[in-house]
Structure 1
Amino acid sequence: MKKFALLLILLNVSFIFAQKQVSGVVKDNTGNVLPGVNIVEKGTQNGVSTDMDGMYTIKVKEGATLVFSYVGFSKLERAATDAVINIVLSEEGGQNLDEVVVTGTRTAPRSNTTSALPIDVLSAKDLNSTGQASFDKALQYKIPSFNTVQTPVNDATSLLDPYEIRNMGPSRTLILINGKRKNMSSLVYTQTSPGRGETGSDISAIPTDAIERVEILRDGASAQYGSDAIAGVMNIILKKNTNYGSVTVRTGVTSEGDGEMLGVSLNNGSTVGDKGFVNYTIDFSKVNLANRPGKVDAAAEADGNTGFGAPLADVQAFLAKYPDAGNINGSPETAAAKFLVNGGVNYTENTQLYYNASYVYKKVNSFANYRTPYWRTLDEFPYLLDLFGDGTNPSSYVGYVPTFTGDLNDYNATVGYKATKNEWNTDVSITTGGNKQSYTVSNSHNRSDFDGDPATYDFVYGGLSPISFRPGGTSFNHIVGNLDISKAVSDKISIGFGSEFRTENFEIIAGDEASYFGVGADSFQGNTPENSGKFNRYNLGGYFDVAFDVTKDFLINGTVRYEDYSDFGGATVWKVSSRYKFLDDKITLRGSLSTGFRAPSLHQIYTQKSQSSFEAGGAIVVTGLINNVSSAARQNGIPKLDSEKSKNLTLGFGLKPSKDFTFTLDYYNIKVKDRVLLSNEIAFELDQAGKPTNKQSFFVNGMDTKTSGLDVVANYRNIELGSGKLGFNFSGNYTFVNERDGAVKDPQSVKNLTGALANQTIIDATQEALLFTSRPKFKYILGGDYEVGKFGFSLNNTVFGPTKFKNAGMSDDLRIEFLTKVVTDLGVTFSATEKLTLSLNVNNLLNVLPEWNFKAENAAGTALINNAVAIKEQSDLITFNQRYSQMTYDGYHFSQLGTMFNLSLNYKF
């Protein structure tokens, strides 16, 4: 702590040498105050921004010159000769804050409504206005094509939720921090949930208060940025403000009185010497468990088909005391500590050193399904009385609930150098980042028995099993070197070219022996030593980009890129985009055509997790996930993975009839060839009784897919109403097509299986539903905000369209559909003083919850729905006997927590 305090003193030492204080207010030419205007002491990094009332205060040296700049207005310089300097900025020659973007081009920045590509821009104010506790959940209620939500059954998935843009999975959106690639998570999703078989970056780890704005490119960009950009790119721009700071305290609770949240965040900035700056953020938060269990059906529990075949009287006696069967499912308990710093030094007007770094620690506590005394019985496992009872009285054993604790460490850092010489712009940087997850399973046991005789437990496990396990974990890190060079060759042609070198390392960390022996720890088996190890690869890529302004209205942009991977070879991709403006830039037509690729991740190539269990008669059954480079894969004829290839088409237009009204509409069409998928379990052998055995799943280039849809964004602001101003926003995403393109690409070895092993396929209806229909068919956001005096009000309605599932275990004649629902969010902001702001958000104001129904696929399905007994059995199968009655075991729609109240206090200093 002493070192940290000393660091803060050094970072702020420049204030001691300031000799003069200047203050004032900045307005536009209509008399409206302008919050967020940048004021910088010329020739230095000393700067501030105006507050919500357009006011500023800055300390400068004698004889200094102040530079006032704001996107949307012309830059203005003023000598700091007076103590009070009020400024009026002109809009001539400027562009609005939410229109200038740096993402999507390797040459000069363009404006949003006149760019050749569809790009969303969200400011820090936009993110904070949602009242959501994390960055990814804020995006959920701001970007229609972005979807994420917590899964009903968590385990390792509780550490970070799968997200995606345009229904393309989490691994096809590239995440950038200040334009540099962020590391992926080490977790690969293997559960039956959206995102299965994929991985992505942990964007929830990024503190919202460190973000200046977010630019989301909704278009394939592999040619510009490399692998993982098939669906688009999210570029997170960090804050750079200096000379002031703020502290934010947040708290919240659900309407059920659980899920309590408390967080505190510090963001501060300072000059470093005369030419440097630093901005840093420290964020601590804690969110308690929010539990939404269902009421368990006793008859279904006792049934031999849907349940455990237990005596109904025993089940009823237990459920009389515990109607939810002890189950805990909902939103897990999460604690997080986040640290981030962003800085730079301008050595001259044409040279700059820049850097940023972050570290995040998260700890998540969640629960497996409760093992009831009629599920794990004393007759079958008599030692449970010692582990989870008093050792003598059988009635003291009431079952147990295994706990799952995940520890996540995520870091990334970039240092770079920019220079301009003879109008050539050079940017060289190196980035490192990593993610490590380790797990602990407690209140559990390993029920394996060495000799296979349930009457005697004479080995180290069974009766002598520990109740706490360390099943291992995963780790991923990369090092990325970038060189980017650009130049405006003439007033019409700009070029950019560069290269990237990246090395990646993935590790599967072995668990302790008790966690993986036999069937392993009950609820979560550990990683075996033979399935663990360290794996790496490298790739080298290069690109060339040219932008040609044929006229001031007509732009053509082209990019070509080549990448070579050490493990699967090379790929060449290209992109052409164009836009045409007319009617004084009021209308813009735009479009792009591109090819793309995504390299299979190291996680998909090397993840392996197999389990051994005993069958009657002593036969050993091996099930689990085998990797594509293993001997088992070779024996079973599983091919090695290749890269995915894509073709992207985008067509759209933008309207800006006035400075206060903008409208964009974009159609997209994405085709992916050889999409990497996690297969079903396939049986390649028969046991002595002639039954399929040794079932294994694996990653495979399993199918081609096609996705198309429409994005719309409209904003109308500065409508005078009374003494305040009103603004409206509407945005939406509608999916036309999201489906398999052609037949499933079963490996030849699977096609060749005969007899009892025939007719297996790597992808079934459940997996296809997770891929294509598990996200809303459409999603719209309609809202308005009104600012008057010291108050600000916002009301947003998010329409979540229907989702469809084919849950595992249910009849092929049925599907389930989550109904279209509207979630309403209310926000109220009060600027009590120039420095103190209070914000209240009521999310899901009307307590709208997901709702699903059975739908028939055919006449047999209709008959099932009309049969009360049969349809009840189907319902029990997919909800685990009503434990997950609201969301079903595999599916979800949006948050199941209902209304949430959030209050925040922000103090500027």
Structure 2
Amino acid sequence: MAQTQDAVSAQAPARVVVTGSLISRTDTETPTPVQVLTAADIQKSGKTSVAELLNDLAANGQGTLGTGFSGAFANGASGISLRGLTVGATLVLVDGHRLAPYPLSDDAQRAFVDVSSIPFDAIDSIEVLKSGASSLYGSDAIAGVVNIKLKKNLNGTRVAAESGNTQHGGGKTHRASISTGIGDLDNDGYNAFITAEWRRQGAIKVADRDRFDWANADWRSRGGNNIRLGVPNGLNSRLTATNSPFLYNPAGPAKPGINPATGKPYAAIDNSANFQFLDPTKCNYDLYMSGGCAIRDDKTNIQPQTENINLLVGMTKKLNADWELAFKGSMFQRNSVNNRGSYLSAYSPTTFGGNNSLNNGVVTSGNSRVPSTLIPANAAFNQLGAPARLYGYIPGTDPFATQDNTATTTRFALDLHGSAYGWDVNVAGGITKVKTDIDYSGYIDRAALYNAIFNGTWNPIGGNSPALLNTVSPHFSNTLESKLNYFDAVGSRELMQLGAGPLALAAGVHYHKRTQNSPAASLTANGQVAQTTAFVIGDETNTAAFAELQATPIKNLELHASGRYDHYKNFNKFTPAASFKWAPMSQFGVRGTYAKGFRAPNPAEVGNAGSFFTFNGIDDPVLCANGNPNTAGNVPTACGLNPPYVQLTTPSLSPEKSTSYTLGVILEPVRGLNATLDYYNIKVTNQIVSAAGNDPSYVPAFVRGPVTPLDIANGDGTTSVGTPALGPIIYATSPYVNLGGTKTSGIEADIGYRWRLPNDLGSLKANLSAAHTFSYLTEAAGGVSYQLAGTQGPSAISGATGSPKDRAQFSLAWSRGPLDVNTTVNYTSDFSTIDPSLGVNDCSGPGGTSFNVGGRAYFRNLPQPEYYCHVASFTSVNLNLQYKLSQNLTVKGSILNLFDRQPPADVATYGNSGAQTSYNASLHQAGAIGRFFSLGLAYTF
């Protein structure tokens, strides 16, 4: 009899709770679309980080934050953007609970969980809920939820190691892990385990890839400008910082030579008598004029150097037959060395207007201002006999602003679950924190630099003492923290029989307190150096009650209704949702959802916070009225200006709101073939945006600095030093406002097929996940809307990462005995480089989209070739093989980007504009990395 009971028990399907519901079920095909990545899927992907894995999801869209995005406010971290609604509209959970967000917000505004810090070997599965879920999870779940489930228990020991390298240089990756656990819950009443992982990924520099067009800043062969650092051209008035300092006499005699290429005179500055090259062995007049004094970009990252050390400890104890207590403690640490691609370590040739600082809502401009940086005629190294300007990088300093970022995520969680009085009860509490320590280098104290130059203690070509170098380019640090502590209690039970099945209820309460303490670095706060990071100081407290009902009123029809009431300090919010699934036969089913959602204003938007940002290039309305730097009387540096805007918080903001629905079919026409096809429609209103660029009534009130002598165009290609009518634009302020919205719709498909090959040739498993965007409308004030699907826009979101209409991932796996072969194809469709929301309708005219969207200079003042008006589609193929050499030993090998596809040119994305590269790091990072090989071993015992 006991044997029969065991057999029945073994056949009984297990009940699980799937993300998007609080009620356990045996059928994992839910009314809401959920994509599940198992631990086996993750290990067979060939990827070495969660961020890389999730970046390839077909549902992941524009606004994605990848580690290759050098220009990000939160560079070094990675975030997911389902349906292209930004990382702030996708809720990331760990074991179904909230985690403290990264202390640096995306675009200094959107809070998100850094998925790059979560290790592979600690993950049991990843569930991606592709539906609005605020009725159960609260704020941020507008586009969907990514629930990363960590391992619950573990027996035995597994040791693994792997190494990889790129074909084109840089990016060496090494990873090692160990997992071990003891105890059996059923027999011993407990389980305890520990997993540890180490991963190091080498940097890939622009210099490692500058043989390819997308990384080469000399665009002359492509009809554009040579914008390599240190190359004189018409955009910089043929005066620019080079690899070795030189002096230039702006008042020298104009003796233009003749340019043999054009037969026309050079500008007056092309007179070697006006130049003094301080180290002619590195840079002289002929080298300078031919572009031979360019600065090799061996500092800017295409992929940053990262190192991860991760530890997870888990313990589960059976208290009695019905109750279990589980504890998880984890420490995930990621170190990355990043730079913003900003060339800061160069002498200021004319004047230095000072650094701006923003603290406690007060903007201070002109800190460390240097009224004149002209080198006196009597300076020891000035042999021109007149006051001169000093150009060139500053020897002995890091030429790029660099941030050595160590982010440590700690999490301590208790989960108690069991049964009491007919209820299944889950009680959970946790303490989570993300601490980011940043060491800064490459920032210049301009006042200290010119004080040393003017008092004669500074040698402009090098050899300065370490103490003096540290004064001029100080190394400093900052600590930023984000904390979130939570408590959840949920009970569920069957209330009664209703129709063809039970009426089940789940109800619960939630509490979390979030604090963010991300102050400005000390030298930024006092204006001693240029801006480092945005600062945010604030807190958020949320209490909520929620409930869900599930019923089967007639056979094969499943109904759900849920609602949640959230209380925040400044507002209350109720969000309902409903869903159904009707499966009249095993081969066919229909499902649908309707949900309200919201995103609460976060401390970066309503707290004590602020940042400096640029969103579009302009011409100074006074100093460059017609936009032509060569027009007589114009100030060339005031043309194509990217003025900083000071982003100010608005405490009275109300939450963003959303309405979404999905409608889909579930198909299993033949055995082994499973398919789902779901239509989604999401409308977001009351969005929190910056007034600049969004509010038509906003008129920037530019704050100008003092009037100082500047170069003024003579009208013949030359310039003269003069005093303009007004001082240069320093900044303008812009508050956050609730304005406009976004409407997006599309269709997503997941198709899987398994079949066994004849003659014992093994088995095949194929899977296709695809997403097509029908529409992506941005609604501005006044009822004006812009269709952005298939375009570059919206450029104001996370680096103008593009809005392609189609993304797909196809995998084909073959297994036979000890061998597993898995091939994955990732596809992203093409899109236009035009962003209609900026009023740009023609990218092939002079200046083109490359200038109108964010100030890129590839084709500035030149006609942009039609070819660059769109970004080509991109396909990469990954191959992964695993072979069990024995019962315990497995060898694996992977080739990512098997065919070494290069990324298509994207001249409008601003994520890498500072690095002078023209590819899209969010969509096409695999192409920038190139072909990647890895080999690994795993042993279990």
Indicate whether the TM-score tops 0.5.
yes
Q: Match for residue 169 of structure 1?
A: 86
1:609-654 Cα shifts (integer Å, max 9, x gaps): 4689xx99xxxx995534325xxxxxxxxx7321111001100011
Q: Match for residue 565 of structure 2?
A: 562
Q: Which runs of 5+ in 1 are unaligned?
A: 1-63, 77-89, 191-195, 387-391, 630-638, 747-763, 855-873
Q: What's the offset of the Cα at 1:659? A: 4.4
Tell me if structure 1 keeps the 8 A contact 2:804–2:831: yes
Q: Secondary structure at the match of 1:126?
A: helix
Identity of aligned pairs, percent? 19
Q: Secondary structure at the match of 2:701?
A: strand
Amino acid at match of 1:565: Y
Alpha-carbon distance between aligned partners in 2 of 1:696 and 1:730, rounded to the nearest angstrom:
47
Q: Match for residue 608 of structure 1?
A: 609
Matched, 1:657 2:639: no
Alpha-carbon distance between aligned partners in 2 of 1:679 and 1:785, rounded to the nearest angstrom:
50
Alpha-carbon distance between aligned partners in 1 of 2:665 and 2:895, rounded to the nearest angstrom:
35
1:55-112 Cα shifts (integer Å, max 9, x gaps): xxxxxxxxx999999xxxx743xxxxxxxxxxxxx7xx658xxx96521112222523
Q: Match for residue 573 of structure 1?
A: 575
1:742-891 mapped onto 2 (5 Å cutoff): 742-743=780-781, 767-768=795-796, 774-805=802-833, 806=835, 807-809=853-855, 816-852=869-905, 884-887=916-919
Q: Which runs of 5+ in 2 are unaligned?
A: 208-214, 219-224, 241-268, 271-284, 351-371, 382-389, 459-466, 614-622, 624-634, 636-641, 694-698, 707-724, 785-791, 836-852
1:681-737 Cα shifts (integer Å, max 9, x gaps): 873255485676541244332321111111100111133144211121111011111
1:508-537 Cα shifts (integer Å, max 9, x gaps): 234233x4443x435x5367xxx67x4223
Q: Secondary structure at the match of 1:189?
A: coil
Q: What's the offset of the Cα at 1:803? A: 4.3
Amino acid at match of 1:214: I
1:141-160 Cα shifts (integer Å, max 9, x gaps): 35544655334425653321
Amino acid at match of 1:664: T
Q: What's the offset of the Cα at 1:471? A: 5.0
Tell me if structure 1 keeps the 8 A contact 2:663–2:678: yes
Q: Match for residue 507 of structure 2?
A: 497
Q: Which has the higher strand share?
A: 1
Tell me if structure 2 keeps the 8 A contact 1:145–1:732: no
Cα 1:111–1:908, aligned 2, differ >3 Å: closer, same or farther? same
Cα 1:448–1:678, aligned 2, differ >3 Å: closer, same or farther? farther
Amino acid at match of 1:786: W
Cα 1:155–1:65, aligned 2, differ >3 Å: closer, same or farther? farther
Tell me if structure 2 keeps the 8 A contact 1:823–1:848: yes
Alpha-carbon distance between aligned partners in 2 of 1:457 and 1:890, rounded to the nearest angstrom:
47
Equivalent residues, number: 750
Cα 1:879–1:550, aligned 2, differ >3 Å: closer, same or farther? closer
1:546-557 mapped onto 2 (5 Å cutoff): 546-557=549-560
1:623-642 mapped onto 2 (5 Å cutoff): 624-629=645-650, 640-642=652-654
Matched, 1:401 2:399: yes
Q: Secondary structure at the match of 1:320?
A: coil
Cα 1:253–1:308, aligned 2, differ >3 Å: closer, same or farther? farther
Q: Match for residue 158 of structure 1?
A: 75
Q: Match for residue 144 of structure 2?
A: 232
Q: What's the offset of the Cα at 1:305? A: 2.6
In the alignment, which of 538, 543, 557 is matched to residue 540 of structure 1? 543
Q: Which 10-residue stretch deviates more, 586-595 or 240-249?
A: 240-249
Q: What's the offset of the Cα at 1:498? A: 0.8
Amino acid at match of 2:916: Y
Amino acid at match of 2:605: Q
Q: What's the offset of the Cα at 1:343? A: 2.7
Alpha-carbon distance between aligned partners in 2 of 1:240 and 1:176, rounded to the nearest angstrom:
16
Matched, 1:592 2:593: yes
Q: Match for residue 193 of structure 1?
A: none
In the alignment, which of 893, 896, 904 is matched to residue 928 of structure 2? 896
Q: What's the offset of the Cα at 1:464? A: 7.9
In the alignment, which of 283, 290, 312 is matched to residue 340 of structure 1? 312
In the alignment, which of 130, 141, 145 is matched to residue 45 of structure 2? 130
Tell me if structure 2 keeps the 8 A contact 1:592–1:651: yes
Matched, 1:644 2:656: yes
Alpha-carbon distance between aligned partners in 2 of 1:328 and 1:230, rounded to the nearest angstrom:
35
1:142-184 Cα shifts (integer Å, max 9, x gaps): 5544655334425653321232111111121222222222221
Q: Match for residue 465 of structure 1?
A: 471
TM-score (norm 1): 0.74
Q: Match for residue 184 of structure 1?
A: 101
TM-score (norm 2): 0.72
1:715-767 Cα shifts (integer Å, max 9, x gaps): 11133144211121111011111121343799xxxxxxxxxxxxxxxxx9763
Tell me if structure 1 keeps the 8 A contact 2:581–2:591: yes
1:522-575 Cα shifts (integer Å, max 9, x gaps): 5x5367xxx67x422312110121111112301110011110101x21001100
Tell me if structure 1 keeps the 8 A contact 2:683–2:742: yes
Alpha-carbon distance between aligned partners in 1 of 2:913 and 2:758, rounded to the nearest angstrom:
53
Amino acid at match of 1:606: G
Matched, 1:907 2:939: yes
Q: Match for residue 683 of structure 1?
A: 700
Cα 1:838–1:626, aligned 2, differ >3 Å: closer, same or farther? same
Amino acid at match of 1:652: G
Q: Match for residue 256 of structure 2?
A: none
Q: Secondary structure at the match of 1:150?
A: coil
Q: What's the offset of the Cα at 1:222? A: 0.1
Alpha-carbon distance between aligned partners in 2 of 1:212 and 1:565, rounded to the nearest angstrom:
33
Alpha-carbon distance between aligned partners in 1 of 2:36 and 2:916, rounded to the nearest angstrom:
37
Q: Match for residue 36 of structure 2?
A: 121
Tell me if structure 1 keeps the 8 A contact 2:598–2:656: yes
Alpha-carbon distance between aligned partners in 2 of 1:878 and 1:178, rounded to the nearest angstrom:
32
Q: What's the offset of the Cα at 1:475? A: 1.4
Q: Match for residue 582 of structure 1?
A: 584
Alpha-carbon distance between aligned partners in 2 of 1:396 and 1:742, rounded to the nearest angstrom:
45
1:454-483 Cα shifts (integer Å, max 9, x gaps): 967999x99983423325242110111111
Cα 1:180–1:259, aligned 2, differ >3 Å: closer, same or farther? same
Amino acid at match of 2:937: L
Matched, 1:295 2:216: yes
Tell me if structure 2 keeps the 8 A contact 1:407–1:438: yes
Q: Match for residue 309 of structure 1?
A: 239
Tell me if structure 2 keeps the 8 A contact 1:597–1:644: yes
Q: Which 10-residue stretch deviates more, 676-685 or 265-274?
A: 676-685
Q: Match for residue 479 of structure 1?
A: 485
Q: What's the offset of the Cα at 1:124? A: 0.6
Q: Secondary structure at the match of 2:105?
A: coil
Q: Match for residue 635 of structure 1?
A: none
1:247-305 Cα shifts (integer Å, max 9, x gaps): 11121111113211111111222118921112321111111111234334385442353
Alpha-carbon distance between aligned partners in 1 of 2:455 and 2:691, rounded to the nearest angstrom:
38
Alpha-carbon distance between aligned partners in 1 of 2:612 and 2:160, rounded to the nearest angstrom:
48
Tell me if structure 2 keeps the 8 A contact 1:158–1:364: no
1:376-435 Cα shifts (integer Å, max 9, x gaps): 56994879999xxxxx99999497423321111111221122221232112111112111
Q: Secondary structure at the match of 2:52?
A: helix
Q: Which 10-residue stretch deviates more, 694-703 or 843-852?
A: 694-703
Amino acid at match of 1:608: A
Tell me if structure 2 keeps the 8 A contact 1:606–1:627: no
Q: Secondary structure at the match of 2:929?
A: coil
Tell me if structure 2 keeps the 8 A contact 1:249–1:265: yes
Cα 1:225–1:889, aligned 2, differ >3 Å: closer, same or farther? closer
Tell me if structure 1 keeps the 8 A contact 2:397–2:469: no
